[in-house]
């Protein structure tokens, strides 16, 4: 559950974006000291979630949308038998470009490991926000609790379980 280094580019899947949207803290992703990107499939899934009122409406204009290369499209198509469109496209891009895949989806994490793709998740991003001094531990804990209240299944109950000396 390591936070990505500052040189990384994060490609977010729908689960991550949804967690931050539901908790009302999308701005935290904008605060990270790295590049943050989306695939069009993730934009489509989030737009559908907004339309169905499963996630709150938000402006995502600040998040650059990645155009998949032919190679990435082909790879993503093969992955779609095991993963949703957002996870497949994001994983294909992360694998091809050497980016970090940000997902909480267990299947996407398993497939990413098979392709040796670096992975982080909601917890890793919250840890990074604390480590970068963007959030103090108390605010990060409150954010985690808000995410859990909004339906995020967290593998931990406190960020203190992963952060030491903070």
| pTM confidence score | 0.91
How far does Cα 148 stand from its chain's mean position? 16
Angstrom distance (rounded) from CA 55 to CA 46 = 8
Q: What is the pLDDT of residues 74-109, one digit of tens each?
A: 999 999 999 999 999 999 999 999 999 999 999 999
Report whether 36 contacts 10 (CB < 8 A).
Answer: yes
Phi and psi, residue 47, nearest 5° = -60, -40
Superfamily of domain 9-155: 5'-nuclease (3.40.50.1010)
Domain positions in the chain: 9-155
Q: What is the pLDDT of residues 108-137, one digit of tens each?
A: 999 999 999 999 999 999 999 999 999 999
Q: Which strand (E) or helix (H) includes residue 10?
A: strand 9-12
């Amino acid at each position: 559950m390591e936070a990505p280094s500052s040189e990384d580019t994060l490609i977010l899947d729908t689960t991550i974006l949804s967690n931050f949207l539901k908790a009302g803290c999308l701005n935290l992703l904008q605060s990270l000291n790295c590049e943050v990107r989306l695939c069009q499939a993730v934009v489509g899934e989030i737009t559908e979630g907004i339309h169905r009122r499963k996630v709150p409406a938000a402006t995502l204009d600040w998040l650059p949308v990645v155009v998949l290369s032919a190679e990435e499209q082909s790879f993503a198509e093969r992955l779609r038998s095991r993963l949703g469109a957002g996870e497949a496209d994001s994983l294909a891009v992360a694998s091809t470009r050497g980016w970090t895949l940000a997902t909480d989806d267990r299947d996407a994490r398993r497939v990413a490991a098979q392709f040796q793709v670096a992975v982080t998740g909601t917890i890793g991003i919250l840890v990074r926000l604390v480590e970068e001094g963007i959030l103090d531990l108390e605010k990060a804990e409150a954010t985690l609790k808000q995410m859990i209240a909004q339906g995020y299944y967290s593998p931990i109950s406190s960020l203190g379980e992963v952060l030491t000396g903070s």
